[in-house]
Protein backbone atom coordinates (compact mmCIF):
# COMPACT_ATOMS: atom_id res chain seq x y z
CA UNK A 1 0.00 0.00 0.00
CA UNK A 2 1.27 3.47 -0.86
CA UNK A 3 0.54 6.86 0.69
CA UNK A 4 -1.21 9.66 -1.29
CA UNK A 5 2.15 11.11 -2.31
CA UNK A 6 3.08 7.80 -3.93
CA UNK A 7 5.63 6.74 -1.32
CA UNK A 8 5.44 3.58 0.69
CA UNK A 9 4.63 4.26 4.38
CA UNK A 10 7.46 3.74 6.85
CA UNK A 11 7.16 0.30 8.44
CA UNK A 12 8.09 0.09 12.10
CA UNK A 13 10.59 -2.70 12.73
CA UNK A 14 9.84 -4.50 15.99
CA UNK A 15 12.37 -6.49 17.99
CA UNK A 16 9.74 -9.07 18.94
CA UNK A 17 6.89 -11.11 17.53
CA UNK A 18 3.73 -11.55 19.59
CA UNK A 19 3.41 -15.30 20.17
CA UNK A 20 0.50 -15.92 22.50
CA UNK A 21 1.40 -19.47 23.44
CA UNK A 22 -0.58 -21.53 25.93
CA UNK A 23 -2.01 -19.61 28.85
CA UNK A 24 -3.18 -21.46 31.97
CA UNK A 25 -6.38 -20.74 33.83
CA UNK A 26 -4.29 -19.46 36.75
CA UNK A 27 -2.39 -17.06 34.52
CA UNK A 28 -5.64 -15.85 32.97
CA UNK A 29 -7.08 -15.25 36.43
CA UNK A 30 -3.97 -13.33 37.42
CA UNK A 31 -4.27 -11.11 34.35
CA UNK A 32 -7.87 -10.31 35.25
CA UNK A 33 -7.61 -10.00 39.03
CA UNK A 34 -4.06 -8.81 39.71
CA UNK A 35 -3.48 -6.39 36.85
CA UNK A 36 -5.21 -3.51 38.69
CA UNK A 37 -2.74 -3.99 41.57
CA UNK A 38 0.49 -4.47 39.63
CA UNK A 39 -0.17 -3.29 36.08
CA UNK A 40 0.70 0.07 34.55
CA UNK A 41 -0.85 1.43 31.40
CA UNK A 42 1.40 3.03 28.78
CA UNK A 43 -0.71 6.16 28.40
CA UNK A 44 1.23 8.85 30.30
CA UNK A 45 4.65 9.59 31.85
CA UNK A 46 5.27 7.61 35.02
CA UNK A 47 5.89 9.19 38.41
CA UNK A 48 8.00 6.59 40.19
CA UNK A 49 7.60 8.05 43.68
CA UNK A 50 3.83 8.16 43.29
CA UNK A 51 3.64 4.64 41.87
CA UNK A 52 5.70 3.00 44.61
CA UNK A 53 4.99 5.42 47.43
CA UNK A 54 8.66 6.10 48.11
CA UNK A 55 11.89 7.36 46.60
CA UNK A 56 14.11 4.39 45.76
CA UNK A 57 16.51 3.17 43.04
CA UNK A 58 14.50 2.02 40.03
CA UNK A 59 15.34 -0.87 37.70
CA UNK A 60 13.64 -1.49 34.35
CA UNK A 61 13.73 -5.02 32.90
CA UNK A 62 12.93 -5.34 29.21
CA UNK A 63 11.45 -8.69 28.18
CA UNK A 64 11.25 -10.53 31.51
CA UNK A 65 10.00 -13.78 29.94
CA UNK A 66 8.28 -15.92 32.56
CA UNK A 67 9.21 -13.46 35.30
CA UNK A 68 11.22 -15.85 37.48
CA UNK A 69 14.39 -13.74 37.47
CA UNK A 70 12.51 -10.48 38.02
CA UNK A 71 10.54 -11.82 40.98
CA UNK A 72 13.72 -13.22 42.53
CA UNK A 73 15.62 -9.95 42.12
CA UNK A 74 12.75 -7.96 43.59
CA UNK A 75 12.53 -10.31 46.56
CA UNK A 76 16.27 -10.17 47.18
CA UNK A 77 16.47 -6.37 46.73
CA UNK A 78 13.51 -4.94 48.68
CA UNK A 79 15.23 -1.56 48.80
CA UNK A 80 14.84 -1.23 45.02
CA UNK A 81 11.79 -0.74 42.81
CA UNK A 82 11.31 -2.64 39.55
CA UNK A 83 9.32 -2.13 36.37
CA UNK A 84 9.06 -5.15 34.09
CA UNK A 85 8.09 -5.06 30.42
CA UNK A 86 6.81 -8.12 28.57
CA UNK A 87 4.42 -8.44 25.61
CA UNK A 88 3.56 -12.13 25.98
CA UNK A 89 0.49 -12.66 28.16
CA UNK A 90 1.42 -16.08 29.64
CA UNK A 91 4.66 -14.64 31.00
CA UNK A 92 2.89 -11.60 32.39
CA UNK A 93 0.29 -13.81 34.05
CA UNK A 94 2.96 -16.03 35.58
CA UNK A 95 4.84 -13.04 37.01
CA UNK A 96 1.64 -11.62 38.50
CA UNK A 97 1.06 -14.95 40.22
CA UNK A 98 4.55 -14.86 41.69
CA UNK A 99 4.20 -11.28 42.90
CA UNK A 100 1.03 -12.22 44.76
CA UNK A 101 2.48 -15.42 46.18
CA UNK A 102 5.66 -13.72 47.39
CA UNK A 103 3.73 -10.65 48.58
CA UNK A 104 5.99 -8.28 46.64
CA UNK A 105 5.05 -4.62 46.43
CA UNK A 106 8.16 -3.27 44.68
CA UNK A 107 7.30 -4.46 41.14
CA UNK A 108 5.01 -3.04 38.47
CA UNK A 109 4.34 -4.54 35.05
CA UNK A 110 3.78 -3.12 31.55
CA UNK A 111 2.64 -4.96 28.40
CA UNK A 112 3.62 -2.70 25.51
CA UNK A 113 6.64 -2.35 23.23
CA UNK A 114 9.63 -1.28 25.33
CA UNK A 115 10.66 1.38 22.82
CA UNK A 116 7.22 2.98 22.99
CA UNK A 117 7.30 2.86 26.79
CA UNK A 118 10.75 4.42 26.95
CA UNK A 119 9.70 7.22 24.60
CA UNK A 120 6.31 7.98 26.11
CA UNK A 121 6.32 6.85 29.74
CA UNK A 122 9.80 6.83 31.27
CA UNK A 123 11.02 10.28 32.40
CA UNK A 124 14.56 11.32 31.55
CA UNK A 125 17.26 10.46 34.11
CA UNK A 126 14.83 8.32 36.13
CA UNK A 127 16.37 4.83 35.90
CA UNK A 128 19.26 3.47 37.91
CA UNK A 129 19.51 0.23 35.97
CA UNK A 130 18.15 -1.29 32.76
CA UNK A 131 18.24 -5.06 32.29
CA UNK A 132 18.05 -6.95 29.00
CA UNK A 133 18.51 -10.66 29.66
CA UNK A 134 18.52 -13.18 26.80
CA UNK A 135 16.70 -11.09 24.18
CA UNK A 136 15.72 -12.64 20.87
CA UNK A 137 19.05 -12.80 18.99
CA UNK A 138 17.45 -12.73 15.53
CA UNK A 139 20.37 -14.89 14.45
CA UNK A 140 19.62 -14.92 10.70
CA UNK A 141 21.56 -12.14 9.01
CA UNK A 142 18.51 -10.80 7.21
CA UNK A 143 16.83 -10.33 10.60
CA UNK A 144 19.70 -8.49 12.30
CA UNK A 145 17.83 -5.21 11.81
CA UNK A 146 15.30 -6.50 14.35
CA UNK A 147 17.88 -6.73 17.12
CA UNK A 148 16.96 -4.35 19.91
CA UNK A 149 20.45 -3.11 20.71
CA UNK A 150 21.05 -0.63 17.91
CA UNK A 151 22.40 2.93 17.85
CA UNK A 152 18.98 4.60 18.09
CA UNK A 153 17.95 2.43 21.03
CA UNK A 154 21.20 3.10 22.87
CA UNK A 155 20.75 6.84 22.39
CA UNK A 156 17.19 6.56 23.73
CA UNK A 157 18.39 4.66 26.81
CA UNK A 158 21.14 7.18 27.46
CA UNK A 159 18.50 9.82 28.14
CA UNK A 160 16.61 7.63 30.62
CA UNK A 161 19.48 6.24 32.75
CA UNK A 162 20.98 8.45 35.44
CA UNK A 163 24.70 9.21 35.30
CA UNK A 164 26.43 6.36 37.10
CA UNK A 165 23.55 4.01 36.29
CA UNK A 166 23.96 0.77 34.38
CA UNK A 167 22.70 -1.01 31.28
CA UNK A 168 23.14 -4.76 31.87
CA UNK A 169 22.76 -7.18 28.97
CA UNK A 170 23.16 -10.96 28.89
CA UNK A 171 22.93 -13.42 26.01
CA UNK A 172 23.81 -17.00 25.17
CA UNK A 173 24.45 -16.13 21.50
CA UNK A 174 28.09 -15.19 20.99
CA UNK A 175 27.36 -13.38 17.74
CA UNK A 176 24.78 -11.18 19.45
CA UNK A 177 27.15 -10.62 22.37
CA UNK A 178 29.78 -9.32 19.96
CA UNK A 179 27.16 -7.16 18.23
CA UNK A 180 26.04 -5.60 21.52
CA UNK A 181 29.64 -5.04 22.61
CA UNK A 182 30.46 -3.28 19.36
CA UNK A 183 27.34 -1.13 19.37
CA UNK A 184 27.68 -0.11 23.02
CA UNK A 185 31.36 0.78 22.72
CA UNK A 186 30.53 3.14 19.87
CA UNK A 187 28.36 5.23 22.20
CA UNK A 188 30.09 8.08 24.05
CA UNK A 189 27.29 7.97 26.64
CA UNK A 190 28.40 4.62 28.10
CA UNK A 191 31.58 3.07 29.51
CA UNK A 192 32.30 -0.66 29.57
CA UNK A 193 32.78 -1.56 33.24
CA UNK A 194 34.89 -4.57 32.30
CA UNK A 195 37.22 -2.55 30.07
CA UNK A 196 37.24 -2.00 26.34
CA UNK A 197 36.49 -5.14 24.34
CA UNK A 198 35.78 -7.25 27.43
CA UNK A 199 32.76 -8.99 28.91
CA UNK A 200 31.79 -8.90 32.59
CA UNK A 201 31.37 -11.70 35.08
CA UNK A 202 27.76 -12.38 36.03
CA UNK A 203 26.85 -10.11 38.96
CA UNK A 204 25.39 -11.86 41.99
CA UNK A 205 22.06 -10.06 41.54
CA UNK A 206 21.38 -11.75 38.18
CA UNK A 207 19.74 -15.12 38.89
CA UNK A 208 20.75 -18.12 36.82
CA UNK A 209 17.53 -19.23 35.13
CA UNK A 210 16.50 -22.80 34.32
CA UNK A 211 16.93 -21.92 30.65
CA UNK A 212 20.49 -20.79 31.31
CA UNK A 213 21.30 -23.85 33.43
CA UNK A 214 20.11 -26.12 30.63
CA UNK A 215 22.30 -24.27 28.16
CA UNK A 216 25.31 -24.56 30.41
CA UNK A 217 24.81 -28.32 30.66
CA UNK A 218 24.85 -28.43 26.87
CA UNK A 219 28.08 -26.46 26.77
CA UNK A 220 26.57 -23.13 25.73
CA UNK A 221 28.34 -19.96 26.80
CA UNK A 222 26.74 -16.92 28.40
CA UNK A 223 28.05 -13.39 27.98
CA UNK A 224 27.24 -10.50 30.35
CA UNK A 225 27.82 -6.88 29.40
CA UNK A 226 27.64 -4.06 31.95
CA UNK A 227 27.88 -0.51 30.65
CA UNK A 228 27.85 2.54 32.92
CA UNK A 229 26.14 5.81 31.95
CA UNK A 230 28.84 8.52 31.88
Residues known to be catalytic: 136
Of 146, 125, 194, the residue nearest 17 (C-alpha): 146
CA separation for the pair 159, 229 (Å, rounded)? 9
C-alpha dist (Å) from residue 79 to 39, 55, 76: 20, 10, 9
**Can you say whether residue 136 is alpha, beta or left, with left for phi > 0 and alpha for psi between -120 and 50 degrees?**
beta
Distance CA 70, CA 196 (A): 29
Q: Contact, 20 vs 27, CB < 8 A?
A: no
Residue 47's nearest CA partner among 115, 116, 123, 127 is: 123
3-class secondary structure for 155-208? HHHHHHEEEEEEEEEEECCHHHHHHHHHHHHCCCCEEECCCCCCCECCCCCCCC
| Calpha distance 84→100 (Å, rounded) | 15
Amino acid sequence: MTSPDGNRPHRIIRSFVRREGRITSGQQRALQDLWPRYGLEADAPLNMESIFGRKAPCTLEIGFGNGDALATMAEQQPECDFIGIEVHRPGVGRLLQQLERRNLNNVRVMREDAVDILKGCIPDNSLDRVLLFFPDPWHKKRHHKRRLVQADFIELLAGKIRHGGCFHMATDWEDYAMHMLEMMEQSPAFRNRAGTGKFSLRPDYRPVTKFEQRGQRLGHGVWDLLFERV
